């Protein structure tokens, strides 16, 4: 009881205060008598009145009630469901403000979690037009008033927001999603219900290739049986000539994971083709491929610059996926070795090397920390190691392997500043490496996510 008296806020009470910062989720950080309150849609330097909606031991959550003095960076969010849909968090912040926020987020995370005080973090590389940039849309399907709806989930919920247009998605993909939804409804397809585990259609996925305009539709279903399959395929083909591949993915599990293990091409090609700076890639339904093609080119150019290739270097690309960074680097390197735990991705990488007449790239399936020591025993010495891990960062065994191999340079591409900070700390605390610089790249405008490219050099 004595502890609760120390908390200076109460649920349902109103307080006037000033917003000091933004969290990594994009909520404003206000303080009442030094006690942190997280307030969605509030921006730094704003004078606000908030209402406390939840109180925890060390912080509280508030709702923005009134803005007495707005930030100079506040703008009107153009999306009609901003704040309701959980896809974007920063539409109310000017784009210049978003870029500054992301640079600050990276700088502070490196200091707080990595103890990296003096690292140069460059201004975030942004987009000329930070809208309609996503080349892949994954839309959950539900029902409302016995009709199919397709949209996105509300923030921190499984309640679906019906949405015809998403302002950060490629407009052609939005159009196909809604067209496929209407076609499915015409033939009586029912949406999957995660509570009852009944129904058929779980998600509609659409990919778009920026350079060729080709589109791929993937229907994620609970069962392999798709009623009226032939009619659905015919109607999609007739309405959307740009669709060159129609795929069915079967996910029978009670899970919020989107894709299941079984994938079948219903009609057309297995892949669509895209290009990054003259390098072509065939992309399948399951391929990992960066969702912002304009910024991907900028990110890879920075990775290439950090690798400082003269044509004499051997490069290892850990987490190589379908070979996007590997083949980008192979044009400037003596040889590139790519490793990836997903065998299907490695097969795609090999095909993409052949597609581009690149013969100085070798790909192997397996864990990087297992494959790379084998290469070292075979006499392969890496001058440069490039890593582009998932959000959880590098496996510790891989970090130790890199420290053992001692390449001259490590280029770390990261989609999560927190795990980047952790891994850079491990590499620098060894005494072998120093971080030269970090370049944030805005791959996901209007959201809190930020991609980075970091350069480490051997001391």
Residue 427 phi, psi (nearest 5): -70, -35
Exposed, middle or buried: residue 404 (CB in 10 Å: 0-12, 13-18, 19+)?
exposed
Residue 441 phi, psi (nearest 5): -130, 130
The alpha carbon of 77 is separated from its chain's Cα centroid by a whole number of angstroms, namely: 22
Buried b (16+ CB within 10 A) or exposed e, 77-93: bebebbbebebbbbbbb
Max CA separation in the chain (angstroms): 72
Report d(CA 381, CA 309) in Å as an integer. Answer: 15
The pair of structure tokens assigned to 389 is 């891990």
Helix (H, G, I), strand (E, B), or coil: what is residue 84?
coil
Report d(CA 392, CA 259) in Å as an integer. Answer: 20
Residue 299: closest CA among 125, 110, 105, 123: 125
As annotated, the active-site residues are 415
The sign of the torsion formed by the CA atoms of 182, 184, 185, 187 equals positive
Cα–Cα distances (Å) from 123 to 306, 438, 441, 450, in that order, read 16, 9, 9, 12
For residue 121, count other CB atoms closer than 10 A to its CB.
24
């Amino acid at each position: 009881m004595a502890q609760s008296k120390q908390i200076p806020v109460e649920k349902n009470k109103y307080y006037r205060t000033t917003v000091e910062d933004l969290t990594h989720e994009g909520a404003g950080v206000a303080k009442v008598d030094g006690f942190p309150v997280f307030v969605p849609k509030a921006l730094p330097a704003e004078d606000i009145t908030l209402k406390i909606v939840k109180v925890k031991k060390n912080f509280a959550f508030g709702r923005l009630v009134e803005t007495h003095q707005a930030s100079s960076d506040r703008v009107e969010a153009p999306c009609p469901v901003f704040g309701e849909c959980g896809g974007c968090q920063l539409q109310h912040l000017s784009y210049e403000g978003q870029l500054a926020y992301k640079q600050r987020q990276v700088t502070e995370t490196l200091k707080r979690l990595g103890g990296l005080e003096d690292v140069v973090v460059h201004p975030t590389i942004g987009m000329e037009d930070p809208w309609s940039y996503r080349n892949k849309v994954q839309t959950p399907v539900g029902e409302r008033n016995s009709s199919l709806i397709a949209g996105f989930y509300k923030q921190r919920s499984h309640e679906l927001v019906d949405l015809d247009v998403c302002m950060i998605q490629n407009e052609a993909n939005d159009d196909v999603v809604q067209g496929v939804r209407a076609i499915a409804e015409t033939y009586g397809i029912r949406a999957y219900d995660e509570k009852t585990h009944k129904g058929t259609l779980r998600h509609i996925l659409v990919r778009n290739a920026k350079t060729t305009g080709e589109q791929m539709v993937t229907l994620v279903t609970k069962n392999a049986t798709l009623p009226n399959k032939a009619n659905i395929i015919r109607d999609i083909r007739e309405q959307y000539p740009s669709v060159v591949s129609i795929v069915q993915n079967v996910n029978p599990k009670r899970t919020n994971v989107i894709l299941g293990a079984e994938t079948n091409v219903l009609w057309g090609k297995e892949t669509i083709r895209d290009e990054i700076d003259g390098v072509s890639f065939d992309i399948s339904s399951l391929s990992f491929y960066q969702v912002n093609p304009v910024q991907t080119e900028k990110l890879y150019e920075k990775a290439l610059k950090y690798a400082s290739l003269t044509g004499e270097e051997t490069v290892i690309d850990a987490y190589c996926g379908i070979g996007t960074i590997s083949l980008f680097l192979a044009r400037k390197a003596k040889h590139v070795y790519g490793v990836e735990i997903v065998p299907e991705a490695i097969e795609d990488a090999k095909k993409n090397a052949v597609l581009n007449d690149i013969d100085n790239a070798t790909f192997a399936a397996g864990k990087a920390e297992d494959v790379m020591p084998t290469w070292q025993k075979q006499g392969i010495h890496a001058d440069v190691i490039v890593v582009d891990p998932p959000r959880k960062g590098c496996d510790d065994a891989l970090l130790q392997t890199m420290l053992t191999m001692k390449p001259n340079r490590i280029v770390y591409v990261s989609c999560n500043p927190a795990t980047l900070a952790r891994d850079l700390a491990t590499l620098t605390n060894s005494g072998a490496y120093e971080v030269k610089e970090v370049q944030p790249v805005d791959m996901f405008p209007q959201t809190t996510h930020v991609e980075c490219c970091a350069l480490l050099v051997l001391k």
